[in-house]
């Protein structure tokens, strides 16, 4: 089934005989246009260096982007929404990630909020980007269930959309990836407190669909790993870092499926977790 929400944000200038670009999905952690600012230059560079044409492909919401991956409409994807037992069967495999420190899932409230613990969220409005997210949904819902708090979930399509709703007092709290929360707060001046912080997990991987030829995957991986050692690639990564506000100069490093065993283990063991 085709998804009408698909957005193609990068159209490479290719000769008429060139192969059709492979679709590269990116999780909707930030607004689509901000995501495009970060990833379009990266994908243009990788396309040029690897000879594998790539085009950024996203749904309008995080749910739509996950659906595109789950329905085999993406060839590569930067996400952590594919580790449930059902989606794991699709066969996407991790190839790379940013060199960022581990990330944590959080529930945040405005700095002056009277809410200080999870149980006090009972009956309150909580902004969440999508049910499919691990770092920004599954971890928090499990913690709230253990605390006996039933919340009214308000789906916002992206993490930053939830932070904006919290800042505008439309919801009482919001969930997110600790790294995304920190960069948004620094950029927008948001003042907040975290009332839940999860254990640490590896940052989102870039994953390849099993239909993509191994030789193609290796070319894309080599271009990603080489970016930080090439002046042009280094400049593109530094421009991305100006938006993402990473703790150290960005680079891509190799990732393996075994690095994400804790994600899979959570879904298998989380008491009462509903598998999407």
Tokens (6 digits) for 167: 């800042």
How would DSSP label each residue in the chain? ---TT-EE-------TTSPPPEEEEE--SS-HHHHHHHHHHHHHHHHHHHS--EEEEE-SSHHHHHHHHHTT--SEEE-S---SHHHHTT--EEEEEESPPPB-EEEEEETT-S--SGGGGTT-EEEES-TT-IIIIIHHHHHHHHHT---EEEE-SSHHHHHHHHHTTSSSEEEEEHHHHHHHHHHHT--EEEEEE---BPPPEEEE-TTS-HHHHHHHHHHHHHGGGSHHHHHHHHHHHHHH--SS---EEE--GGGGHHHHHHHHHSTTPPP-
What is the pLDDT, as a whole number, of residue 244?
Answer: 85
How would DSSP label each residue in 197-211? E---BPPPEEEE-TT
Cα gap 28→83, rounded to integer Å: 17
What is the pLDDT, as a whole number, of residue 157?
Answer: 87
Angstrom distances, CA of residue 263 to CA of 175, 188, 206, 269:
18, 30, 15, 10
What is the pLDDT, as a whole number, of residue 7?
Answer: 52
User: How far does Cα 158 stand from its chain's mean position?
Assistant: 9
Collect all residues with Cβ–Cβ distance below 8 Å to 51 and sequence separation of at least 6. Answer: 219
Tokens (6 digits) for 170: 């439309």
- pLDDT of the chain, 276 residues: tens digit per residue: 444 445 544 444 344 445 789 999 999 888 889 899 999 999 999 999 999 999 999 998 888 999 999 999 999 999 999 999 999 999 999 999 999 999 999 999 999 999 999 999 999 999 999 888 899 999 999 999 999 999 999 999 899 999 999 999 999 999 999 999 999 999 999 999 999 999 999 999 999 999 999 999 999 999 999 999 999 999 999 999 988 887 789 999 999 999 999 999 999 887 444 444
Residue corresponding to tokens 């190839």: 95
Cα gap 159→227, rounded to integer Å: 28
Tokens (6 digits) for 4: 């009408």
What is the pLDDT, as a whole number, of residue 63?
Answer: 87
pTM above 0.85, yes or no: no
Residue 194's DSSP bridge partners are: 108
User: How far does Cα 111 stand from its chain's mean position?
Assistant: 25
Cα gap 274→276, rounded to integer Å: 6
Residue corresponding to tokens 């393996």: 256
């Amino acid at each position: 089934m085709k998804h009408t929400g698909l957005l193609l944000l990068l159209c490479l200038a290719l000769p008429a005989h060139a192969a059709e670009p492979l679709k590269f999905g990116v999780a909707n952690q930030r607004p689509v246009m901000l995501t495009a600012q970060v990833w379009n230059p990266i994908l243009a560079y990788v396309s040029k260096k690897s000879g594998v044409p790539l085009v950024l492909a996203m749904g309008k919401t995080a749910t739509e982007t996950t659906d595109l991956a789950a329905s085999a409409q993406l060839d590569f994807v930067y996400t952590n929404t594919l580790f449930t037992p059902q989606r794991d069967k699709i066969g996407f495999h991790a190839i790379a990630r940013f060199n960022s420190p581990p990330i944590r899932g959080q529930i945040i409230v405005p700095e002056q909020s009277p809410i200080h613990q999870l149980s006090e969220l009972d009956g309150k409005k909580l902004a969440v980007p999508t049910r499919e997210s691990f770092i920004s949904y599954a971890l928090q819902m499990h913690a709230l269930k253990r605390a006996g708090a039933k919340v009214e979930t308000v789906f916002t399509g992206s993490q930053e959309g939830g932070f904006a709703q919290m800042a505008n007092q439309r919801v009482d709290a919001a969930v997110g990836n600790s790294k995304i929360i920190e960069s948004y707060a620094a950029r927008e001046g948001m003042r907040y407190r975290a009332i839940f912080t999860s254990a640490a997990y590896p940052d989102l991987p870039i994953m390849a669909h099993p239909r993509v030829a191994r030789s193609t995957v290796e070319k894309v991986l080599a271009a990603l790993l080489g970016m930080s050692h090439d002046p042009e690639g280094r400049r593109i990564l530094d421009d991305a870092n100006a938006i993402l506000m990473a703790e150290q100069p960005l680079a891509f490093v190799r990732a393996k499926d075994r690095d994400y065993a804790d994600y899979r283990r959570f879904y298998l063991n989380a008491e009462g977790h509903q598998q999407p």
